[in-house]
Amino acid sequence: MGSRIKLQIISVSVGLLLGASVQAEVGQEHRLRYDLGTAQEKLVDNQGNGFEPLYGTRNVRAVLSGVFYRGGANNRYHRSNRRSNTNPLPGDGLQNLCEEGFTTAIYLYTTNYQSAPRMVTCRMNDGSTNHLQYQQLSILSANNEQIHSVLTQILSHVREPQRGPLYAHCWNGWHASGTIASYALRQFCGFSAEQAVTYWNANTDGNNDSSYEGIRRKIRSFVPFNDLFLTASEKTALCPENQTFAF
């Protein structure tokens, strides 16, 4: 009987350790694939170049490493389908996000969203089928309920790693995407109001003059919700440091 109890205890202990290990590995596949050392480093640059499998995006940066990414849409500098900057993601941007395993993309403005597909289906490199949902949320005018909803969705990508990462984007990858990222860093990573504003400023590529003070006020006035949080191990795996922004 004693041996049986010992075996049960060992089994439970191993299970707990494995569970902790699995939790710590949330986002690990994309974290290793993209290898971004800080929340300021870009995977795709302002011209839409860099990591070729994500062509169609711009200024792509990690927010919660391996799980939540932010950026813009490459319309202004597109090699073959150049159009107005004030558009949603081009078709190849959506397709490439899908093939990279993203299952959610959120366009943070309304302009021309009606022209974009709401769902993209693709075949990934491992041969499996993936579905990318393309949503819209006007984050700069969002109310508390809408902000809570999108933060809940981001958290679901942490807690359900089979969903892959989420990409939230505006036009350039500076202002609206920086706003949703700042809310997430305050909500999940313990950034203070001023640390989040510093982060927002640092990721606008210098486009942060006094005309954007309204956005900074929104970030400062944001109050994190009590029901949405990361565990200590999730924070360690996903969050940037709040002063250097290093992962």
Average pLDDT over residues 110-133: 97
Whole-number percent of the chain with pLDDT over 90: 89
Average pLDDT over residues 182-198: 98
Let me know: does 247 contact 69? Beta carbons within 8 Å.
no
pLDDT at 9 over 90: no
Residue 117 resides in a domain: yes
Residue 24 resides in a domain: yes
Residue 247 resides in a domain: no
Spatial neighbors of 102 by CB under 8 A, at least 6 apart, are 69, 132, 164, 165, 166, 167
Residue 157 resides in a domain: yes
Residue 246 resides in a domain: no
Residue 75 resides in a domain: yes
Domain count, the chain: 1
Residue 7 resides in a domain: yes
Let me know: does 27 contact 64? Beta carbons within 8 Å.
yes
Q: What is the pTM of this model?
A: 0.91
Domain harbouring 155, CATH code: 3.90.190.10
> At residue 153, what is the residue type?
Q
Range of the domain at 131: 2-238
Residue 234 resides in a domain: yes
Count Cβ atoms below 10 Å from residue 134 Cβ, excluding itself: 20
Whole-number percent of the chain with pLDDT over 70: 90
